[in-house]
Amino acid sequence: MDNLELLSPVGNAISYFGAVAESEGLASQTPIAQFAYPLGMVFAYLTMLVILAEGLSRIIPEDPELTRKVVHIGSGNVILLAWWLNISTEVIVSAAVIAALIALTSYFIPILPSIESVGRKSLGTLFYAISIGLLAACFWQHNPQYTAIGILIMAWGDGMAAIIGQRWGKHTYQVFEITKSWEGSLAMAGVSYLVSVAILLSVQGNSWQVWLISLAVAIVATILEAFSKLGIDNLTVPLGSAVLCFLCVQAISFN
């Protein structure tokens, strides 16, 4: 018993000093060290995306819109990477501000020709960056799923709508002198629905509310995408989709 009584304080002391050492080790990590790994992965992904865009613009110079949409879709996927790596709101908003400044500069000076060369003046890239920053500021800390829904609907829905509409769009309609195709709008609705369902299922679980809310979000996103003057849909679609989804989830009981 005496040996056990002696060993007990010694064991407690070892545990205490071990815990102190571990906490000091974590505390000694600088913010730069904590963010280096996730930001490095995001930077590497975006670098590969830019390289891919430049390569496509050289291989298929006659179809700059395809290159732009590949970047459009690929850049939206960054939000999933940020979600997985638990990147902070401050970092995402800061990155969005930088991206917005670059996009605004590129609007006047073509520093990103593979992204901006669509044969028309558009602020779409600027609006895209602004929407990412606003959604991150509003939802990222406590409800990142709504940020992801808004951005991915814009990335995949609008991207696939443009690609399918331009290649297979045979039945057209006009909204304020903007020509759209029913095939492209159908692609927008279908992809938006799938994005909403996939994310809500992962967060809320399977229920009829998820399928109903996703349908409402897809319809509204498709309507907003039809009004795309100067690329304003890059702002209205993600914000409208995310806010509507949030309000619907709050209003409908999942019990």
**Mean per-residue pLDDT pooled into runs of 10, the chain (255 residues):** 46 45 45 66 78 76 70 86 88 87 77 56 81 95 95 92 85 83 93 97 93 97 87 92 96 76
Helices 233-251 + 182-204 axis angle, to 10: 40
Nearest Cα neighbor of 188 from 212, 205, 163 is 163
This prediction has a pTM of 0.78
Q: What's the confidence (pLDDT) of residue 179? A: 82
From residue 181, give the alpha-carbon distance in Å to each of 49, 178, 188, 240, 244: 28, 10, 11, 21, 25
Q: How far apart are CA 221 and CA 102, in angstroms?
A: 27
Beta bridge partner(s), residue 140? none
Q: What's the confidence (pLDDT) of residue 235? A: 93
3-state secondary structure of 221: helix
Q: What's the confidence (pLDDT) of residue 21? A: 41
Q: What's the confidence (pLDDT) of residue 112? A: 61
Q: What's the confidence (pLDDT) of residue 122? A: 67
Q: What's the confidence (pLDDT) of residue 59? A: 79
Q: What's the confidence (pLDDT) of residue 132? A: 93
Q: What is the DSSP letter of 174?
A: E
- 178-181 and 172-175 beta bridge pairing: antiparallel
Question: Structural domain boundaries of the chain?
Answer: 31-251
Q: What's the confidence (pLDDT) of residue 5? A: 45
Q: What's the confidence (pLDDT) of residue 16? A: 45
Q: How far apart are CA 149 and CA 146, in angstroms?
A: 5
Written as one letter, the residue type at 64 is P
